[in-house]
Each structure stands twice: as structure tokens, then as C-alpha cells.
Structure 1
């Protein structure tokens, strides 16, 4: 009986097995520990990332699912017989290549060895021999991803990243048998699952793939952020499926090891607490010129700008960083000295690997930090969230964590892109509230939010955006405030601690002051604006949530265009922004129980006693001292205000339409507006319009001079921190005229 069974098994093992099923595969799966760089690229560029692990197919298509057991036995028997048990099987993938296909190219890693030198080809021959098939020529490889199309620039861009990957070298402990299975609850989606393995004779302590299948994402992870929004991401044309869940990814911080003269991964010993009473943050979009080939003509100017006194900071957030520029930047000796810590290492260093995207966010710092990537709902978009332990410590307050988030939101002024920006900011603030609720925050970067009211009105008029999108833009600004975030530029501007850029002296509409992207004065910005409406925009911002820990100090721009011998030198299409935050001592901002002074402030109401309790007596005293104006004085001021309004707004002379056609309103403010003025009070007047302050006063002055015969005189012009003011005398009444550009207020 035993003899008959043995003969039957031998007969089965000698039968040729068809290899035509795409439901199974026989492959080599590299160790997880060596696939970090590979998976970061595959996640963004490989359409099979969620379905397959990184793998090298030996035989695909493979046998039908019902033949897997028999095939496994046949292959295992042949492997045991033909492989030398004392000779380990090793794989080294150290060459990037590509396959051209109909609509794009597949980029891969392959061997430099070929033919009989390749152990991969030896394994394939043994497998096919066991299945009674002859070997056929094939290029065994590990897929990195697919280019967007068959254009050379698209293909070479991804090939360049693959060439920066560290060589993949490992011992093979087993071959993996994968089988395709449907995703539960889906009729169309599937993924490959580990069905079994074929042990190699020389496995030893080599890597052997095991369940669970780490490449199959779990939808129950606490780190996953579900997203259901859509947008047009202008940084990458690839659409992402609805409902894709993206995990928050922990990043590796690098530091410059001066002894070894290289960038190394922080082990944790470098993440020591720092104590400072002030922290300076800079943000700069360095501009990627082209996808491929990369340009380097601006690199030296960019580094010079970053190292300039006006840009130097404790923390530097960069956007649109490419592989080549980061390698150039981190090779600079002064950068290594001033910014010894970086969220990413130089891709040109053999053991580091490429940046994931074309345009990347990179954070440099003089202090050690830990960071995570909070991905948004589109590929290539996310926030880099860094944690600085003790960065805001003071002798009185003790250790305090500072959280700094670097962002580069979706660009463009369309219904889809504005909705995307809104969703991205919601995701970020939601994450920060969940994981850093009590810590102070700083959010810095290129927000790509259109601020010019002229640009927005024109877009609505041209039907480029809907009225709902205008409402969404306002909602974004409101949401920033609701999250407790304050705009550092706005604070510094109000407190007159900002340095006004050159473009602010030009004729500006509301929302253009403090612009960081000015196509009128920056040739690179004009080339990248993508519109003929070249108005200045304040795209780059630094938002702060102090949490009673610090206050905003100075704010200024850097990296503005320079004219040298009649030639404009421009490092980027954006100017950079920098702000200093100053740590508050406990006595300045908090009480002993930790609550802010504002939270503890209470008002105690008491009823007036004695003579103060009699309003009639109080009225007599105020009248006796001339505190209440007479009826004649009331009428005089009413007539005076009406005259000034008529002159300034041009309503008295229809032939002179210089100002009459410009939307303007004029209102009283101060004591006159609130009804608490006295006979000695002047009248404060505020004009609100859509033109710049410079233009308004130029035109208004002409009207006032012409009205001198009607009792209107200009006494003097005052340049105060709050802006320009004209002191006037109108028929003997002192009046102050100020102006505010605020188009939305005028429209209301």
C-alpha cells in the first residue's frame, strides 16, 4: 500500500503545471526594515501600493489557486535538491531602470548582475524546472512606481528619485506565495495575501515573510485620518480615490555629525531640552523651477538669502524643496553650523534616499526636534508637525513644549482649490487639538490663500469662482481665529513692529499690504502667477497660538528682489517672512494657579452713593463746566461734517468725477460718533474705500485745496504709526481725516 502511495506522489510531482493565473504569484519580499525609502515612493507613485508589498516576481502569472499546494511541494522538492545549503542566496538591487508602456513608464530597481551571475535568475530556473517549464528571458525587478505619462521629463523625474535610493541588499530566507483576494465589502477592489512560503536550503537567519500582511492597511488604526474631500491639486495631476485613509507617519530627524562629516539620524540623545526667552521662526518658499531636469542657477542665491541676517532664525520652514536643492543646501558649512538639525537628510548621501515629492516641506533648526507627517487627502500634500521639548522654557515657567507645523496648501483660486485649502486647515487644526491641545502652536508656510480683494472680485465677475467660494475664503479666516491662531503679521502691523516692504508703498487694494507674492515687482512671481491679474498676495504667513506662553515681537520680510547694476536678482518668486516670539514670565501672563490674568479679571458693580447718586446734581456740575455742547454747537458740527463729506466725496461737483466714481464712505468716529464730545473736542472722520491710502490722500488733498474758499483749510499732514492723517480746520472746527482701505466694508 505504501509503495502505491509513493508512486502516486511521484507521478503528481512530474506533471507539468500551468503558470497562467494572475490570481497568484511567486515572489521575493525584501525585509521590512530595508523598505522605508522604497515604500515612501511607492505610496505616492505606485498604483499597486495598497495591494502588493514591495516584491520581486519570480513567476507571475503563477499557478491557479487550486494547484498551489501541489506547486508548493514540487518547488520545495527541487529547491532542496538543487540549492547548496552552505551557500546563502543574496539579492542586491542597485540599478534604476524603466519599462515604457502605452501611456506611461514603470520605474523599477533591478540587478546590475545578469545571466549566470544572478541568483535571482538561478532561483527562477529552479522554480520553472520544478513546474516542468523551460526558462524564458525576463527582467526581474522591484517596481517603484509609474510616471504620470510618457513624457521624458515625467519619466526622468521618477527615475532620478529611484537612483537616489540606497542599494537594497539582503539574504533570502524564503520565497513567498501570494494569492489575490477581494477586499471585504467591495466588488472591485482586491489585494494580495500571503498564502505560504517555500523555504530555501540556506535560509539560516535570513528574512522570511510572515503574516499578518503588513502591506494590507487596517482601517481601525487610531492614527488614520479618514478624508472624503476632493480637490484639484496643481502640484500633481494624479487623482486619489474617495475615502482614502492616510496614516500619520513618524519622521526621522537628522543632525550634522561634524566628527564624521555627514548627516546622521538622531538617536534620541540629541533631543535635549533647550531653554530660551525668545524664539525666531522663518518661512520661505524656495520655488521649484521645473520637474526635470532640475535647475540650479538660483541655488547659491537661495542659500545666501537663507543665511542672511534678515532671515536667520532658530526654526526655518522651507517649502518647494527638491532633492537637488536640499543636497546643495545641507552641504554648505555655514548651514551645517547654524542649522545642525533637519527633518530630512541630503538625498545625495548614499544611505539617506530621496525626498518623496517634487515639492517638499523641510524644517531646519538650531534645536533638536521630533516630527510627524500629517497627510492630507491628496497625494503630495500634508503638514510637517514638529515638537520642540522645552523650547519656550523660562526660569519661572519651567518646561513647555512648542509645536511648529509647516504647511504648503493647495494652490489656485478655483472652487475646488479653495475647498481643498479649507479642508486641509481643518485637518491640521483637528490633529493639533487632539494631540497637542494644551501646547502653544506655530503654523508657518505658504497658505496659498488669495488675499487681494481686487483679485477675488475679478474672479467672481469673470465667473472663475462662485459666491460660495468667496464665503469659503471668509470662513477660512474665521476658522483660523476660532482655532485660537493669531496672524503674526497682523499683530506686528497693528503694533507697528513690522518692517514695511517696498511693494507696500505702491497703490494697493485691501488684502495686498504685507504681500509675499508680488508679480508686479518680482519677475519670477510674474512667470508663475498663472494669471494676468498680477496683484500682490499675502500667501506666506506665520500663525501663532500663544497659550499665555509668549507674545509676538517683530515681523519682517526677507528675500526681496535686489537691483544690482540695473539687473534684478531674485532668489524666489516668494519673499520670506520671519517673526520673533518672546516668552512671558509667569508674573507677566499668569497667576500662581496657572490661569491667565484675563481669565481671572472680574468686575465688581457698586451703586453710587452721596452726590454721585443724584443725576440731576451731576448734570448741573457738568453743564456749569461746559461739558455739554450747546444746541448751536451741535448744529455747527453737523453742518461742518456735512461740508467736509461733500468736499471729499465730490458730491458737490458732478463734473469732477475723480473721486465720485470710486466707492467711498465717510463716517464720524471717536467722541463725536459716540456722543460724548465737548465744546473743545475735535471731530474724527474716517473715510473707507477700495483704493490705497496713498492714492486717496493724493486725490482728497486736491479737493480740499479747491474748497479753501468755503472755509476748509489743511493745517498739517501727520505720519503716525497708525497711518496718515490730515489735521483740518473747517469753518473754525478742528477735524482729523483718516483713511482705511476696506472694500468689503464699503460693499456692506
Structure 2
């Protein structure tokens, strides 16, 4: 009995079975690149995994248990042996081949060290199986890639591709025993599956979880089997992105940091067959011409689909900086470089894009054929938020029944994939369809029996096949003839719009059999919703070649390229840059020196200036905003304890909402809800008091020109809370940014639209700016430069955060449309160059694609417009003098960029290389011969009053600058936007300090063209002193802020020597507030009677709203409605009428007059177009003086305050509003 048990060891096991094998199988994550080639070239693909044979043929199937046991025992003994080897490392080497019957087998070799280790391992196992001393010199371990015919060019072609595979490297820790499983997947095919696995320490792994993870997706004996691979599902592929920092194309392995949503509903797509040639090596004489055609103006697109791309052309294309900038995302990296695998076939589909995408490969039944399915998350349907899908194709060529059937089958596979995986997505199919369109060629093929009548019907029914799936042909919808009109009479049926034209293209003639034109290349757009093709053109045409005597080498390809503009969904003002806007100012991007191209120095500068928030800053602000939202949006309950459903949302806006904030920035919050403003603030104050333990305190209640605002504080974080009453907006706030501007949901009062505008503009910018990370860092750079240059702070009539935001977002969009992706250093440098040469007098800063009816006044030297209505010039406080200051700062920044050895640390601090220690303020103190010095002193007890004083006086300096411009010609005044104090003053306020003293300086400079006679000088000086006196007097007259018992203000004209030794006043006089604000200290007793029952008031109001169907002005259920005569509805205010007349596109704004009461002359009229709503405007008239609105065309009064007549809204007498 014992002898029988020892028999497997005593006698050798037969090694003649081709049903089993002892192999080394790479871990599953190493398969993809290898299997892309094996799937096309290896006859064993699908039946064998990628493998290195150790022993094949192996033992009979019934002896596998014995063989496995013997191998385990041998490996265990080797591990315990003092002469044991170190771990085996598998390292692939160069490609190799050996001849076989009828051809060659191409494989990956292994490095010498790996080969020797495997030979020793194999010899030890053979010894255990009873084959000791078997000759090992013929054993050559390798990993097969594929087979070719006995053709040296084909062999070398596959060798080249194999050599481009990324090197395979892993530590071998187990061997795999395979056995052949017949009838796999219900078919007659056989397949090698894992029977067992043994690690090198001699342990069995057949039930190991590690084995399942290593070979996930492969059939494992005893571990379950997967679905049949013959179904050929779409395979997830890797997208490559060009990294300027690494100067290379890198695979995208991580998801974006921020959630990606649809941001654009218009895009362009181009498709171009670049003609692969079969000679080796492939000729490159056409590459430059192809490159020019791809970057030709009428070829540029958001998505570029290329067919017949070979490895050498892709390497050439991706090495160009213009391609890296224009199309930073691509389906395939440079073959053989930095781990990028080769293209699988000779003729390949490659897709390039301006936008990040994910993609899958949908294989067809025919080898080397498939479709690339591209999903672009940032382009799609704004309403449904479904991203666009582009299917790139190159269908089977040929004019035979088999070829036509293949094409039809491939189209059906694409449609099925779109319907099942991308149902409802906006979809485009683009590429070379290879369907013949020339009726003459089809008829000739029928005559010669090349194709059957059924096949011809399928060709003619191709359009119908796609039409049934709701796809429209872009050329049919919006295309024109591509060729020379002189050849139109030579075209037959089906030859119009040809992209393959042997008549005009000699390359096409060389490859054409019949010599007739065909429209092989198509762009089909699926008609979902309102998707349409708005434009269609050809590129790479004969007409584009700028020479008369054309040679064959002048033609880039045998195909013309085509491009289509696709619009998805509704028409929006927020589209890409229009042609007129993009050409408004020349955008020529210049290369930067290496010292300025680095991002590291920019980041270091921002960190040193404390403009970059830390991770702790991010967490604390996020937590405070979440706490505030929790307090304010807590449900309101009725008397029975049930929640009253009312929409109320809190949205961060401003710099925090955009992500451009710095650690000392306030957090601006906008609440949107269905209740009135009065009710909201009563409720907010009451709730914030009750939740004071959560750390958010009410600092002040501010009444500004734009309405009520609460100033809050949590620790060192300040918050501004505003409210917008808009019930429908609150209910649909997540989709507000995607709703078209003319939607009835925005039929709101001017007040509500103004409050909502920052959020709408913010979401527009976040959606339209190409790269928000680039934008945010560039914004911080420009902010740092503006502060150092003394041109930052909008209340002084200089730049502010909103100015930089609108200017930078506009430029970023224009650059992206013209040159493609830009780096942060390039964007910042271009910002300085572009706006240094901007024509401020005749041009306005308007977001690309936004149509504005804004009427610029003569008193607006700088115009920077918001996006949404009501359109506002955010630079309305800029005077002619402050514009001169800003423009000079831009030009100086441009000069600093051009200095030899320039560095960002100098540019952002506004210092020259030779004077890099002098700050901007120090330079200002010595830059002018004389100054206007405005002294401010405060000795009162209230910090709030001190803060109010500072904010008020700073908001009045634009008046002084305006008066200088108008009344003192020839003199330029430049204000430094900060307060100075004497050098011996403390840098920070002492505890309990209540006395402050400081000054503001306006540097004076005589303009070059000013008349300079003695008399003129004296007159100019007298006028200057009179202007200063009037300015001082106007400040003293504003008793709301100026109290001579606690403060004093005076202004004088002083020479530079009389300014004294000054420094910047870094003390905070209690905070600085804006213009026209009535600020009061907020205490626990403030408004106690009003707020005592705030929750009950809000509850009653909401119950009334629910009872009346959600109207904005409602009563409680239990409150009796006051009786009133029929038709006594409240008259809509004049502000609402102005808003409706101004923004309703159906109303002619210029056809109306405003009747208003003049205090001296009685009722007067003026055109509505001249009416000023800004309180700071000199022509401002309070709206309560408006008496009526009249139509000029017929003299009819459409709104009358006295008679309560309203034909605009239907309110007032006889109306129902």
C-alpha cells in the first residue's frame, strides 16, 4: 500500500498533454496594453490569458492533483534550502520573434537574469516530476504577442508595436496550472482556465482571495466563472492629458477634485481622415500639411476625430505645442513614450479634445474595427444635465455585400450601445462611414455583380437607418458645396458634398477605383430636444492651398475634413465667444522665459503674501457656512408641530462662492426664499440669537441702498447675509444657472433681480471659464499685484474683486477660443498685456457671447458689465483720473515683464529688479511734487462710529477725483487706496484705544499737454484750492457721519517736503463699510418688541402663503381679510415699471417718457433711456417723484400714480395684477 502511495514520486509523470500547462500569468492590471495587441494579432487570444509557459505540454488532466502536490513539496523544500534563490522578478525585454510554419511569432523576451531564474525554477520542478536532467538549453521563456504571415514588413511592423509596449515588471510569487475547458460559454470553443495556483513557498492558492483579486474577470476553477467574453462589451479606456508642469502627456488616473457638471450647450466637432500609408517606415512628407490643416481656422473645434492615424503621425502631432495647447486631452498618448502603449492597428481612430472626457472602446465583430465612445461631462444639455456623447467611427471599407452587411451591423451596434448606455444623452456620430454615395458607382457595381440588389438597397437605405434612430446629417441640414464651383457640372447624383473627391484631389484619384466623388465622411447629430446643427464647413480643400501649380505632395490627405457647430437645447446668452467679440482686440500669446514659466514662484509669492488659504481656513469657512445654513433653513412648524414646507436656501456668493477668497475675506451669503424681506430678517435675527451657542454673532444690521444686510461674525470669520425674496427661484435654485434668461421665472422685481444677479453671474463664470483652478490662482496673482501697485479697492474708484473677476473671465474665455489651454503664468502675463493696450474710451468689458443693450454715458470712462439683468457697470465709480492710474499700472506691469531677469516675485510686488526693496506705498510718497492731504481724526467712544467714519469718507473720494478732472484741467490726481499715519504711531491699536489719527494722500501731477504760463499756473492753483475747500465743506455738511464733537476732517494742498514721515496705517478702526449705509450697533435689546415673536410672525405669514397659493404678500389663516372696494388693488411701484419697460424684449424701451415732479418747475418729462437709478449719479432723481409713464408714439399714459392706472402689469384701479 505504501508502495502504491509512493508511485507518483518514484516514476516520472508524462509531460505530453496539450490539455494542461504550468504557466506564469501576469497580474490582471498588466493585461490591458498587452491584450490590445493580442486581440488583433494573437490567434490564441480569448483562449489563453497572457502567459509565459514554464512547462507545456504538461501532465494529463487526471494527474493534475499529483503534479500540484509534487510541485508544492518541491517549492517548499527549495524555500527551506540554504542554497535557495532570492525572489524571482519578471522583467520584460525587447521584442523578439521565431519562425513557425507559414509565418512568424512575435513575442516579448525576458531579461537575462529573469531567464536564468526561470530555467533554474523549471529544472527543479521537472526534477520533482521525474524528469531530472532534461535538456534546458532550448527553453526560451517569452510572452507571445501575435503571429504574422511570412512577410518581413508585417513582422517588423508588429515588432515595432511590441517594442513600444510599456515594460512589464512584477515580482513572481506564484505559478498557475491551466487546463483546457471545452464547450466554454455554451459554444464548441475551448478555453484555458485556472485549475490551481501554487505560490513559491509551496502553498496552495486555489481558494485564496488574493488569487481572485489578481485575476478578477477571468474564469477560475472552483471560484466561479464570468460571463462569456464573446458578447464584446465596451471596454473602459484611459484618457491622456498634457501636463505643462511635466512637459508630457500623462494618463488621467484620478477623478477631478470638484464635481463636473454640464457647463456649455454649444460645441464644434471636426472629423478628418489623415490617410495612413502601408510602406515601412511610413513616409512623413505630408505631416506638416496635415498639421496645418488641423490647426486651420475653419478646422478648429472642441472635439477633433481623426481616422487612419499611425504611430509615427501621432508622435509627430502630439509633440507640437500648438496641439498641446489647443487639444490637451486625447484618447492615446505618444506611442512608446513614458509608458504610453502603441496604437493597436495600422489605421487607428484618435480623438482630441479641448475638454476633459472619459471614453470606452466598442469592438465590432471585424478585427481591427470598433468605435471610440467619448463622454464629455462639461458639454451637454443644460436643462437635463446630461453630458454629450461623441462616437468616433471608421467603418469597414469596400463595395460588396459582405462589406455592406458589416457596415450596417456596425451602425446597429453603435445605436444599440447609445440606447442602452447613454439613453437621452445628446449624441453625435462622426467619422469615415465608408458608405459609397455616387449613384454611378453603385449602378456600375450592380452591373458587374460586385453587389446584389439587396446590398444596393442597404446602401441607399443607410440614411434611413440613422434617421429612424433620430440622427440628422449635418451637411444636409447646414452644409454647402466644398469644391470649386467650376466642377459642379461634372458631379452626378450622390456626389454633391463629397469628402473623397478624385476630380479635385490627386491623392484621392490615386486610391480611387472608379474615379467618382463620394461623401464618405459624415457628422450625424441626434435630434433630442432642440439639438440642431447651426453651421457646417469643409477644410483641407484644394482652394485652401496658397499656390497655383499644385503637386501631389501639396495635398495632405485623400479626404477633405468637415466641421459642424452643434447647439444642444435652448438658445442662451451664455455661449462661447462670438467672432466679433474675439476679434475686438488682437490676442497674440507670446512665449515666456523659463524664469516666468514656472508656477512654483507664483505659489511661493502668494503664500508669502497670505493670499492662499490653508486647509484649516477651508475647513473653518465651510463649517461656518454649514452652521449658518442649518440655523436659517431649519423648518418652521405650525401650532400642531408639523413642518411648514417653504423653500429657503443659503448660497455662498462673491469671492467665497467663486473660490477666489483670501484668509481675510468676508464670506458673502445670499438667502433665497418665499417670505418677505422684513419677515426673513426678523426670523433670522430671532434664530441667530437662539443659536448663539453655535458661535455666530450678529455684529450689525446695515441698511444700504441695495436693501437690508446683516453683518455676522464667527471667531475671526466675518459674514455678510443678504436676502432675495423669490419663491420660484428658491424651489428650483439648483437649476437656476441652466434656465434661459428669458424664462418667466425671472419675471421679478428690480430689487429681487439685483439681489439674485451675483449668484447668476457667479454660476455663469464657473460654467464658462475653461479651467477654474487656473482662473482662481490667476485671480489671486492679479489681486496681489493690484494691492502692491496701489490700484486695488473699488470704493476709491480703482479695481476691486468684481472688476478683476469680469476682466479675467472674459480674457480667459477669449484665449481658450483662440489659442486653447493657457497656463497660469501665461494668463496673468496676457492679462497685463491685453488690458495695458485696451481701448477703454471706445470699448467695454463684456463677457463673450453676451448681448448687452447698455447705453454708456459720457461720465463712464471705464465700463465693465455684469452678465445678467439688471446690467450694471461695476466700474461706475472709476473716474478719468483713476482710470489713468489703472492704465499706467498695467503698462508698468508689462514693462516689468519685459525686464531682463524678471521674476514673478518682482512683478507681483510691483518692484523693478534694481529696486526690489521699495514698496508701492513708499514709491508713491516720493513720486509727486505735491499732494492733497486729507487728515482724519477721531476721539469718540464708539468703534462702530469710527468704522462708519472711515467707510464713509473713503466712499467720497471719487467726488474729489471727479472735481479735479472737471474743474482743474491739466492736473492729474492719483490717490493711494490706503490710510497713512505718522511713523511713530503704533502698528496695532492698544486695548481700549478710542483715539485715531491718519490721513489720505492724493498725488498731483501736471499733464504733459497742460498750458504752463505763469498766469495759467496761478489760476490752476486757485481752482485747485477752491476744489479742495468745496470737498471739505461737502464732507462737513453730511451730519449723518460727520460729528465735530468726536471727529475732525480737513484737506490741504502740501508739497512733498511738507507731507512728513508717514507709513501705512495697519490699524483697523473697527471695520470699513461702503457708501450710503446707516450703521447701528446691534445689541440683544435691539428691536426686542419686533423680534420677540419672530418665529410666530414667520409661521403665520407662511400659513397665509400656503392658503393663498404662494403669493408674495399674504395674511394668516386666522386673520380676517380687510374689506376693500372692487378694483382697489395696490398699484405696482414705479421701480417695477422701469424694470419691465427696460428688460422686456417685447417692449420698445426708447418709446417711453417719464413724467416726474421737479421741486422748482413742477412736472417735467424726460426719455426713459436717460433715467438714472444710481444714487451716486449727478442726474439721479428719487423714484417717489415719478408721476406717470407715457408712450411717445401715441401719447398714452400707461402708468399714472394719481389715478392708480397701470396698463403694464394690470395693477391699481380695475386691475388684478
Q: What is aligned with 2:488? A: 505
Instruction: Map 1:23-102 to 2 at 5 A.
Output: 23-83=19-79, 87-102=86-101
Q: CA 1:61/1:576 → structure 2, altered by over 3 Å: closer, same or farther?
A: same
- CA pair 587-329 structure 1, distance change in 2 beyond 3 A: closer
Q: Structure 2: 5+ residue runs without aligned partners?
A: 574-728, 736-1217
Residue 69 of structure 1 and its aligned partner are, at CA, apart by 2.2
Out of 454, 475, 478, which is 1:468 matched to?
454
2:235 corresponds to 1:245: no
What pairs up with 1:650-661 in 2 under 5 angstroms?
Answer: none
Shift of 1:390: 3.6
2: CA distance between counterparts of 1:32 and 1:44?
A: 19
* 1:602 corresponds to: none
Query: Aligned to 1:553, what secondary structure does the other structure show?
Result: strand
SS of residue paired to 1:363? strand
Q: Which residue of 1 aligns with 2:331?
A: 343
- C-alpha deviation, 1:38, in angstroms: 0.5
Change (3 A) 1:220 1:546: farther
Structure 2 Cα separation of the partners of residues 67 and 221 of structure 1: 29
Residue 59 of structure 1 deviates from its aligned partner by: 0.7
2:166 counterpart of 1:166? yes
- Kindly state the Cα deviation for residue 220 of structure 1 after the two structures are TM-superposed: 7.7
Cα separation, 1, equivalents of 2:411 and 2:185: 31
* Residue matched to 1:598: none
Q: For 2:284, which of 279, 288, 296 is the aligned residue?
A: 296
Shift of residue 9, structure 1, vs aligned partner? 5.2
Task: Report the CA distance between 1:537 and its aligned residue.
Answer: 0.5
Unaligned runs of 5+ in 1: 225-243, 595-748
**What's the C-alpha RMSD, in Å, of the aligned pairs?**
3.1
SS at match of 1:94: strand
Residues 136-215 of structure 1 aligned to structure 2 (within 5 Å):
136=136, 137-147=138-148, 149-184=149-184, 188-201=188-201, 209-210=211-212, 214-215=217-218
The 1:484/1:504 distance shift into structure 2, 3 A limit, reads: farther
Larger radius of gyration: 2
Of stretches 324-333 and 335-344 in structure 1, the one that deviates more from structure 2 is: 324-333
- Of residues 557, 576, 580 in structure 1, which corresponds to 2:561? 576
Matched, 1:566 2:549: yes
Q: How does 1:594-673 map to 2 (within 5 A)?
A: none
Higher normalized helix content (fraction of residues): 2
| Structure 2 CA distance for partners of 1:379 and 1:272, relative to 1, 3 Å | same
- SS of equivalent to 2:146: strand
- What does residue 268 of structure 2 align with? 280
The 8 Å contact of residues 178 and 192 in structure 1, kept in 2 or not, is answered as yes
- Relative to structure 1, is the Cα distance of residues 564 and 219 closer, same or farther in structure 2, using a 3 angstrom cutoff? farther
The Cα of 1:249 is off from its aligned counterpart by 0.7
Mean CA deviation greater in 304-313 or 194-203:
194-203
Distance 1:449 1:398 in 2: 34
Q: Report the alpha carbon displacement of residue 541 of structure 1 after superposing the two structures with TM.
A: 0.7
Cα distance change on mapping 1:554 and 1:185 into 2, 3 Å? closer
Counterpart of 1:438? 424
Mapped contact 1:108–1:141 kept (Cα < 8 A): yes
Instruction: Find the partner of 1:127 among 125, 141, 151.
Output: 125
Deviation at 1:292, TM superposition (A): 3.5
TM-score by length of 2: 0.44
Whether contact under 8 Å (1:93, 1:110) holds in the other structure is yes
Which residue does 1:106 correspond to in 2? 105
Match of 1:261 in 2: 247
Contact map agreement 1:194 1:213 (CA 8 A) in 2:
no
Cα distance, 1:60 vs. partner? 0.5
State the distance in 2 between where 1:483 and 1:100 align.
Answer: 49
> Aligned in 2, Cα 1:180/1:111: closer, same or farther, shift over 3 Å?
same
Higher RCO (Cα < 8 Å, 6 or more apart): 1
Counterpart-to-counterpart distance in 1, 2:73 and 2:298? 71
CA contact under 8 A between 1:51 and 1:215: conserved in structure 2? no
Residue 87 of structure 2: SS of its match in structure 1? Answer: coil
Change (3 A) 1:260 1:471: same
Q: Which residue of 2 aligns with 1:388?
A: 376
CA deviation after TM superposition for structure 1 residue 542, in Å:
0.6
Structure 2 distance, partners of 1:111, 1:476, is 50
Q: Given that residues 444 and 542 in structure 1 are in contact (C-alpha distance below 8 angstroms), is that contact kept between their aligned partners in structure 2?
A: yes
State the distance in 2 between where 1:547 and 1:104 align.
51
1:353 maps to which residue?
Answer: 341
User: Deviations for 1:629-672, whole angstroms, at most 9, x for unmatched residues?
Assistant: xxxxxxxxxxxxxxxxxxxxxxxxxxxxxxxxxxxxxxxxxxxx
What is the CA distance between 1:87 and its match in structure 2?
2.2
Query: What's 1:239 paired with?
Result: none
Q: Among 499, 516, 526, which residue is 1:516 paired with?
A: 499
TM-score normalised according to structure 1 size: 0.70
After superposition, the C-alpha distances for 1:67-106 in whole angstroms (9 at most, x for unaligned) are: 2222222222222223467822111112211111121211
* Cα separation, 2, equivalents of 1:117 and 1:221: 36
**Offset of residue 144 of structure 1:** 0.9
CA contact (8 A) 2:75 2:202 kept: no
- The answer for the alignment partner of 1:619 in structure 2 is none
Residue 688 of structure 1 corresponds to none
Partner Cα distance (2:453, 2:381) in 1: 46
Measured at CA, do residues 381 and 219 of structure 1 come closer, stay the same or move farther in structure 2, by a change above 3 Å?
farther
1:201 is displaced (CA, Å) by: 2.6
Q: Counterpart in 2 of 1:375?
A: 363
Cα deviation, 1:233-268, whole Å, max 9, x if unaligned, reads: xxxxxxxxxxx5312111111111111111112222
Matched residue pairs, number?
559
1:424-465, Cα deviation, whole Å (9 max, x unpaired)? 111111211122221221111001111111111122222222
Q: Deviations over 1:580-616 (max 9, x none)?
A: 123443699xxx999xxxxxxxxxxxxxxxxxxxxxx
Measured against aligned partners, the alpha-carbon deviations of 1:99-157 in whole angstroms (never above 9, x if no partner) come to 1112121111111316x96211121111112223223222111111111x111121111
Deviates more, 1:56-65 or 1:199-208: 199-208
Give the conservation status (yes or no) of the 8 Å contact 1:154–1:291. Answer: no
Q: Using the alignment, how far apart are the partners of 1:79 and 1:503 within structure 2?
A: 81
**Which residue is 1:736 aligned to?**
none
Instruction: Please give the alpha-carbon distance, in whole angstroms, between the structure 1 residues aligned to 2:399 and 2:28.
Output: 42
- Secondary structure class of the residue paired with 1:247: coil
Query: CA contact under 8 A between 1:157 and 1:291: conserved in structure 2?
Result: no
Residues 1:459 and 2:458 are matched in the alignment: no
Are the equivalent residues in 2 in contact too, given 1:128–1:135 (CA < 8 A)?
no
> 1:385, CA displacement in angstroms?
1.1
Q: Matched residues in 2 for 1:523 and 1:250: separation?
A: 39
8 A contact 1:174–1:208 mirrored in 2: no
CA distance in 1, matches of 2:429, 2:416: 13
- Listed one character per residue, the Cα deviations across residues 267-317 of structure 1 (whole Å, up to 9, x for unaligned) are 221783453353111000011111643222222221121111121111001
For residues 117 and 157 of structure 1, the distance between their equivalents in structure 2, rounded to whole angstroms, comes to 26
Q: How does 1:690-709 map to 2 (within 5 A)?
A: none
* Structure 1, 27-36 or 265-274: larger mean CA deviation: 265-274
Match of 1:543 in 2: 524
Distance, in Å, in 1 between the alignment partners of 2:335 and 2:209 is 27
> Structure 1 residues 587 and 517, CA, compared in 2 at 3 Å: closer, same or farther?
closer
Q: Is the 8 A contact 1:50 1:215 kept in 2?
A: no
Distance (whole Å) between structure 2 residues aligned to residue 143 and residue 203 of structure 1: 28
Going from structure 1 to structure 2, the CA distance change for 1:180 and 1:399 (only over 3 Å counts) comes to: closer
Separation (CA, whole Å) in 2 of partners of 1:121 and 1:539: 55
1-structure distance, mates of 2:364, 2:5: 55
